[in-house]
Amino acid sequence: MISKDFVSSMFSIAGRVAIVTGATGALGGAIAAGYGLQGAKVVLTGRSVEKLRKMVETLKKQQVECVWIDGDPAIEADVQKIVHYAVNTFGRVDILAACHGFNAPKSIVDQSLEEWKKIMDADCTSVYLLAKYVAEQMIAQGGGGKMVITSSARSKMGMAGYTGYCTAKGGVDLMVQSLACDLTAKHGINVNSINPTVFRSDLTEWMFDPESAVYQNFLKRLPIGRLGEPEDFVGLATFLASDASNFLTGGNYDATGGYWAC
C-alpha cells in the first residue's frame, strides 16, 4: 500500500549529510547548492581553498548548512580526511555526490604514460577511493546511503583524442555496477552514475556560441535542441539521492539531452 507520507516526502533529502566532490566546478557547484537549498547538510570539497571559501560564504547567506574542506580525491589520505571531517562535523554521511573530473585530450601516439595515469587516477581511482571510505562509514553508522557518481556520455562512446578519458569513464560505469552488487542488497547503499554530455562551465563556454561549427554539430545529435546547463542535473542528482530511487542501483543514467539516442 502506497502511503501519503511516503509520496509526500520521497524526493526529500532534508537533514541528510552529503559530501560533494568537485564542488568548485560547474556541475559539482550546482549539485552542492541544489542539495543545500533542499535542506541537506553539505560538505563541499575540491582543491581550491579560495573557491571553496567563497562558495560556502555564498551558500550560508542562503541559509544552507555547509562546510568546506580541501582535498584531492585521487589521494587516499585526502579522501580519508574528507570523510572524517564530514563525520566529525555532522555526525554521519548519507550521500556521496562525486562530481570531479579531469581530461587532457590528446592522441594516444602523443600522450605520455604519465598523462594517461593522471587521467585514470583523477577520473577512476578517485571514485574507487571515495566509494571505499564512504561505504565503510555508511556501513558503520547503519541505515544505508546513496552514491551518485558523475561519469560521462563518453563512457560508452569513443572519441579521437579521448582514449584516456573514455577508458576512465567506462571504468567508472562498470565500477558503479560492481559497487551495486557489493553494497546494495547487503548494506542498503545504492550506487548510480549520471552520464552528462557537454554542460556549461568556464571551460566549455566557448562551445555555446550558436554561430560556431562545434555548437551546430552538437545540435545535429541533440534531440533536446540545446547543450546542458548546470541546473539541468540537479533534479536527477536529487532523485538518485532520495528515497524515490530506492529500487534503483547499478544504473548509468543518461543526462545527454538525447545524445545517446541518435
The answer to whether residue 49 is domain-embedded is yes
- Looking at the chain, the whole-number percentage of residues with pLDDT higher than 70 is 100
Indicate whether 198 pLDDT > 90. Answer: no
The answer to whether residue 184 is domain-embedded is yes
CATH of the domain at 207: 3.40.50.720
What's the grid cell of residue 114? Answer: 604519465
The answer to whether residue 158 is domain-embedded is yes
What total number of domains does the chain contain?
A: 1
The answer to whether residue 262 is domain-embedded is no
Indicate whether 203 pLDDT > 80. Answer: no
The answer to whether residue 240 is domain-embedded is yes
| Rounded (10°) CA dihedral 70, 73, 79, 83 | 70
Closest by CA to 55, choosing from 39, 32, 88, is 32
> In whole angstroms, what is the distance from residue 13 CA to residue 235 CA?
12
The region of weakest confidence among 7-16, 117-126, 156-165 is 156-165
Catalytic residue among 128, 165, 253, 259: 165
Q: Is 133 a catalytic residue?
A: no
- Phi then psi dihedrals of residue 70, to 5 deg: -80, 155
Q: How far is C-alpha 259 from the geometric centre of its chain's CA atoms? A: 19
**pLDDT digits 0-9 by tens, 39-98:** 999 999 999 999 999 999 999 999 999 999 999 999 999 999 999 999 999 999 999 999
Three-state SS at 186 = helix
Average pLDDT of span 30-45 = 98
**Residue-wise DSSP of 97-108:** EE---------T
CA angle (157, 158, 160) in 5-degree steps: 145
The answer to whether residue 261 is domain-embedded is no
Domain that holds residue 115: 4-256
The answer to whether residue 176 is domain-embedded is yes
